[in-house]
Structure 1
Amino acid sequence: MSSLKSTRNPLLKWTVGEGALNEFSFSPDGKFLACASQDGFLRIFNFDAVELHGTMKSYFGGLLCVCWSPDGKYIVSGGEDDLVTVWC
């Protein structure tokens, strides 16, 4: 085992909402990042520009999972509100 210190550093460090980030998913084209958070918000970021593109709020509780449709037109989220929500 080597005791050499790694010279690699993170390229970016993002703080996303209040509390835990439960899941994130890149759009099929890699341009956008969808983040499902314990604070109940789904946040969409323009990844290259490192800027918030949009937000959506769950009906109740935190969001637990997120996934893009294969064509990148829809985002599906699920959470503690026991709903599966499709966002356009």
Structure 2
Amino acid sequence: MIRKRPVWANGLSARREASCALIHTGFVYYLFFDSLRNLSARIISALIFVDPAVAILLDTVFTGFRPTVLQLAGIVLIFAGIPSTVTDTSIVYSP
């Protein structure tokens, strides 16, 4: 029985995928950290919490990955909590 190598095990495609991932990840991190000084703490916290949820959602769209029920519940909770982090709920202290 001959075992076929998976497509990702091909040396050329693996190098392409690795370089693409490194370039895109580096570029996105550059954009994110470069913009930190221009954004408020609320927006930054919302972006940090949304990042894993968006990664899982994009994974389902592009690779056919099916998240578990626990992952789906986490995504729903993350998006449900975003409005509370972005809205102004500051408490004014007056002695």
Structure richer in strand, relative to its length: 1
**Bigger RCO (CA 8 Å, 6+ sep):** 2
What TM-score do the two structures reach when normalised by structure 1? 0.24
Structure richer in helix, relative to its length: 2
What TM-score do the two structures reach when normalised by structure 2? 0.23
The structure whose Rg is larger is 2
